[in-house]
């Protein structure tokens, strides 16, 4: 049968659920938990309703308060330990999130078309300005970049190098027809040796 409690092998305390065991492990660094078929005691004081989990706790409570009547509700509170799907403590999940987003991201200047950048620079635009214009206009044409510049020349950060996260995929122009042909040619050359050996079945 399923265990009714988890017993800490380090200090012997009984825990009612995986959550309690996790809390105990966090508080004490104890890690040796074993399933136990003994339910955790749940002796409820008839006078004040205080639940006690052990005979020691009952004795202490009796001494401290003079209360004497206890009701054994052990079996009412006992639930089988579910080791199959221990729920993730919310605090832990949040920690992971926080550390993930707090990680400083490396920023780099965006990849732009070098030829167009050179052309813009030769027209008298600063490198930062030209890079910014190419990046934000989609990195496609000189005209697009100049149009972007004419609309944004009043921007306060126009002469600052734009920065993008290092892992951002570079904004590359799509392949021209000529480039596509070359790529296809390369692929054919790559597959040819395999074809000759009959390894590629078409």
Q: Enumerate binding residues for Zn ion (CB under 5 A).
A: 8, 10-11, 28, 30, 45, 47-48, 50, 65, 67
- For the bound state, the minimum distance from the C-beta of residue 73 to Zn ion, rounded and expressed in Å, comes to 14
Q: What is the DSSP letter of 104?
A: P
In angstroms, the CA 125 to CA 117 distance is 9
- Cite the beta strand spans of the chain per DSSP E: 5-8, 14-15, 33-36, 43-45, 51-52, 70-72, 107-108, 164-165
Looking at the Cβ atoms of 47 and 179, the one nearer to Zn ion is 47
Least distance (Å) from Zn ion to the CB of residue 13?
5
149 contacts 129 by C-beta, under 8 angstroms: yes
Residue with tokens 């074809």: 195
Instruction: Give the shortest CB-48-to-Zn ion separation in angstroms.
Output: 3
Q: Which is nearer to Zn ion, 37 or 65 (CB)?
A: 65
We find the least distance from the C-beta atom of residue 22 to Zn ion, in angstroms, to be 12
Closest CB to Zn ion among residues 89, 144: 89
Max CA distance (Å), the chain: 96
For residue 21, what are its two tokens? 């065991």
Using the minimum distance from each CB to Zn ion, give the nearer residue, 50 or 152: 50
- Compute the least distance from the CB of residue 44 to Zn ion, in Å: 9
d(CA 140, CA 112): 9
Strand partners, 164: 108
Given the complex with Zn ion, which of 8 and 145 has the nearer CB atom? 8
């Amino acid at each position: 049968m399923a265990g009714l409690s988890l017993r800490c092998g380090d200090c012997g305390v009984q825990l009612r659920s995986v959550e309690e065991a996790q809390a105990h492990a966090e508080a004490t660094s104890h890690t040796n938990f074993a399933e136990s078929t003994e339910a955790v005691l749940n002796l409820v004081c008839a006078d004040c309703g205080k639940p006690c989990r052990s005979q020691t706790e009952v004795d202490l409570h009796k001494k401290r308060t003079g209360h004497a009547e206890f009701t054994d509700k052990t079996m009412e509170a006992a639930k089988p330990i579910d080791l199959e799907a221990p729920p993730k403590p919310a605090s832990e999940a949040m920690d992971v999130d926080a550390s993930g987003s707090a990680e400083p991201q490396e920023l780099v200047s965006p990849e732009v078309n070098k030829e167009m950048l050179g052309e813009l620079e030769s027209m008298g635009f600063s490198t930062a300005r030209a890079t910014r214009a190419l990046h934000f206009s989609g990195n496609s044409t000189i005209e697009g970049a100049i149009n972007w510049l004419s609309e944004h020349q009043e921007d306060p950060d126009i002469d600052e190098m734009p920065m993008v996260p290092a892992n951002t995929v570079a904004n590359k122009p799509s392949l021209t027809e000529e480039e596509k042909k070359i790529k296809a040619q390369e692929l054919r050359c790559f597959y040819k040796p395999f074809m000759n050996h009959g390894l590629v079945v078409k």
